[in-house]
Amino acid sequence: MERRQLEYFVAIVEHGGFTHAARALRVAQPSLSRAIGKLERELGVALFHRVGRNAVLSNAGEFMADRARQVLRDLDALRAAAQAVGAGVVGRVDVAATSSSTLEPVISTIAELREHHPGLTVGTWSALSAAEVVAMVLRGRCEAGVCGSAERPAGRGLVAHHLRDEQFLLVAPPGTKIGTDGTVTPEDLRGMSFVITQPATAVRARFDRLAATVGDLRIAAEVGDRSVVLPMVLRGIGAGLMPDGWHDLACRAGAEVYRFDPPEKLPQWLVHRGGPLTAAAQAFIDTTLSHAARAREAVQ
């Protein structure tokens, strides 16, 4: 079994077929088909069912997919460890994160890594929820993830580190006057209209809880892409609930930003799989944990 065969197999799974995988890999489709055929003969099982022009994973293929990703990760870890002996940390780490976690702490971690490990590249993958972050890490698509979750993320072989407690903010259209001294209570929200994300996100869960407690909270717009919430707020469509990672950006954009009294909090987590990690992944994890520790010390 060769690394190239596993890379081809994973590419077919992730791109949804031989044609798209061949285009992404920039190889001829017959070469791709021959490599997979050889892999199937070596394993003694069919990895795909050919249905017309489509390729559907067999049961054996589904079993192989996550394990193939992990084998490739382990090979990268071995190569990176050897390279790090003489050249410092090099390579690439892929990180899954929800949007607020990308703003903080992922951006801060990347900035610090660029200063201390210029040979390291961080790839970020967007996720809508903590569950999606965990799934991307457990399936081997990413080596690490950062997300907000009321419960400690769990999964077989998953390691979770508590980073901090995010605070939810009320982000309102320019000129909105509400609350006292930059803070609001849940009762202050009564009668307001909101731009909210779709179900299954931490922000939506918090809005639903507030709506059930306060009552008379209206939904002006429901969006699938949370990056459009702030632009909609700025256009006056409604207010939004946002984790505090959005604070500086919302203020610079001209929105009115309020904190809740008492605070509305959500634990933030760093997750990764147990076992061997690439030097790049270990550097990302160590830097993120160090950044979180310094932030906690600063507020004590």
Residue type, 108: S
State residue 296's pLDDT score: 83
Q: DSSP letters along 169-229, please?
A: EEEE-TT---SBTTEE-GGGGTT-EEEEEPTTSHHHHHHHHHHHHH---EEEEEES-GGGH
Strand (E) or helix (H) holding 130: helix 130-138
The answer to whether 244 and 169 are in contact (CB under 8 A) is: yes
The answer to whether 155 and 138 are in contact (CB under 8 A) is: yes
Strand partners, 147: 269
pLDDT digits (tens, 9 = 90+) for 180-194: 999 999 999 999 999
**pLDDT average, residue stretch 286-295:** 93
Listed in sequence order, the residues at least 6 apart from 199 whose beta carbon sits closer than 8 Å to its beta carbon are none
Q: What mean pLDDT value characterizes the chain?
A: 88
pLDDT digits (tens, 9 = 90+) for 32-59: 888 998 888 888 888 888 766 677 888 8
State residue 85's pLDDT score: 52
**Higher per-residue pLDDT: 69 or 162:** 162
Distances (CA, A) of 35 to 5, 30, 60, 239, 253: 6, 9, 17, 54, 52
pTM over 0.85: no
State residue 80's pLDDT score: 65
Residue whose structure tokens are 């940390």: 89
Regarding beta strands 120-126 and 91-97, do their DSSP bridges make them parallel or antiparallel, or are they unpaired?
Answer: parallel
State residue 88's pLDDT score: 59
State residue 161's pLDDT score: 97
Res. 84 pLDDT band, cuts 50 70 90: low
pLDDT digits (tens, 9 = 90+) for 129-178: 899 999 999 988 899 999 999 899 999 899 999 999 999 999 999 999 99
DSSP letter at 56? E
**Higher per-residue pLDDT: 146 or 299:** 146
